[in-house]
Amino acid sequence: MKKFEDLEKSLRKLSAYAVAFSGGVDSSFLLAAAKKVNPQNLLAITVSSQFVPKRETEFAKKMAHLIGVKHICLEVDILENEEVVQNTLERCYYCKKQMFSLIKKAAENLRIKTLLHAVNLDDLKDFRPGLKAADELGFLAPLVDAKCTKNDIRQLSRQLELETWNKPSQSCLATRIPYDEKIIAQNLIDVDKAEAFLQGLGFAQVRVRCHGKTARIEVDPKLIDKVLKHPIRQKISKKFQKIGFDHAGVDIDGYKTGKMNTKL
């Protein structure tokens, strides 16, 4: 595919570089492509916070190992950042600014000045103020430069035999909280438990939006009927109440990325 050739060409122009690495579809593909081009001068950096389920951080460690790239994991208490906790429309900007600043500092300590992140062409269509922070800190976006869409990345990941090629899309847990509602640790914990439970029932692509003590469940539109069937519905109701939700409902439109941004 020409897009992959263009990506490789742009990566060859760089020297040593660090990749902001989440272990998701996009960053795993970018890391694998970078390893193919420049295996000796490559570093993956993951930032762990309350916004990222622990299982995702562990998966990132696993993927970096499988790809065969040096990997470091940083930890940050993102809930100490009041600009993030207030959850305004600019929350993502303040969050990315803090996390990407940590990545930049860690890379520079290892004498690596070139920084990459795995934003793709489709991401530019959504409301993502965090991209501004990445630009301000000097992160390059080679997947955008190569005009790679999410579908392109999945296809190419499959060709590279990456197990992430069909991994469900992920986003930070803060996206489950409506804008202007203060983010508290317990809500993030409750959402994580609820989503992990639903995934255990076979709903791979899932979001649980937290509206106070009410949970709004989003699954693949094709699986909405399955959620509403009596045995599963009853299991979900009991589990969610145990987690701490008073009520749980199903979004009849199903899962769609960036749904919290649709009114913006």
User: Same domain for 136 and 100?
Assistant: yes
Joined tokens for residue 175:
């996206």
User: Same domain for 161 and 178?
Assistant: no
User: Same domain for 46 and 74?
Assistant: yes
The pLDDT value recorded for residue 85 is 98
Q: What is the pLDDT of residues 184-205, one digit of tens each?
A: 999 999 999 999 999 999 999 9
The pLDDT value recorded for residue 166 is 96
Q: What is the pLDDT of residues 215-225, one digit of tens each?
A: 999 999 999 99
User: Same domain for 159 and 188?
Assistant: no
- Give every CB contact of residue 13 below 8 A, 6+ residues apart in sequence: none
Domain boundary among 166, 191, 211: 166
Q: What is the pLDDT of residues 138-156, one digit of tens each?
A: 999 999 999 999 999 999 9
Cα–Cα distance, 168 to 166 (Å, whole number): 6
The pLDDT value recorded for residue 260 is 66
Joined tokens for residue 190:
């409750």
User: Same domain for 154 and 219?
Assistant: no
- Contact, 119 vs 141, CB < 8 A? yes
Residue 256: which CATH number? 3.30.70.2210
Residues facing 46 on adjacent strands: 73
Q: Where are the beta strands (DSSP E) in 176-257?
A: 206-211, 214-219, 247-250
Distances (CA, A) of 52 to 78, 116, 128, 192, 261: 10, 20, 17, 9, 20
- How many domains would you assign to the chain? 2
User: Same domain for 147 and 209?
Assistant: no
The pLDDT value recorded for residue 15 is 86
pTM of the model: 0.94
Residues facing 116 on adjacent strands: 19, 140
Q: How many CB atoms lie within 10 A of CB 257?
A: 16
Domain boundary among 166, 201, 218: 166
Joined tokens for residue 168:
């469900």
Joined tokens for residue 207:
């979001």
Residue 107: which CATH number? 3.40.50.620
Q: What is the DSSP letter of 184?
A: -
User: Same domain for 44 and 152?
Assistant: yes
The pLDDT value recorded for residue 257 is 76
Give the range of the structural domain holding residue 178, as residue numbers without chain letter. 173-261
Domain boundary among 166, 201, 227: 166
Distances (CA, A) of 164 to 67, 88, 149, 160, 257: 11, 32, 15, 10, 18
User: Same domain for 130 and 153?
Assistant: yes
Nearest C-alpha neighbor of 31 from the set 14, 13, 48, 43: 43
- Contact, 167 vs 128, CB < 8 A? no
Q: What is the DSSP letter of 96?
A: H
User: Same domain for 90 and 182?
Assistant: no
User: Same domain for 130 and 237?
Assistant: no
User: Same domain for 41 and 162?
Assistant: yes
Q: What is the pLDDT of residues 167-178, one digit of tens each?
A: 999 899 999 999
User: Same domain for 135 and 216?
Assistant: no
Cα–Cα distance, 58 to 2 (Å, whole number): 33
